[in-house]
Structure 1
């Protein structure tokens, strides 16, 4: 993974670990992402989308030359 996506991934992990889905309900962060997306705060949803776009940009040949 490129260094541009590492910061987003770290922020997403931090957001998930402090969300109610993990803290109060005791779910795993991966379980919250897969099955409890509606319970996550808007910040985590935005970080998830940004992470997805960053990873997608790494595979898109047009974006490789332009950058993320």
Structure 2
């Protein structure tokens, strides 16, 4: 049915908004991927950096993979 094509996008967007407001902030360890919920981020914690995660976890940066 053509009228339902965008319906799943709207429903999942609403689910995403509900989860965003229901789940608390989290701190994620770059090395072991442990998620600490209800932790108070200190001054040392910064937003998650995927490049830093990949370098620490896999040993290579994206620039090295592209070569």
Q: After TM superposition, is the score higher than 0.5?
A: no
TM-score normalised by the chain length of structure 1: 0.29
Structure richer in strand, relative to its length: 2
TM-score by length of 2: 0.29
Bigger-Rg structure (1/2): 2
Structure with larger RCO (C-alpha < 8 A, sep 6+): 1
Higher helix share: 1
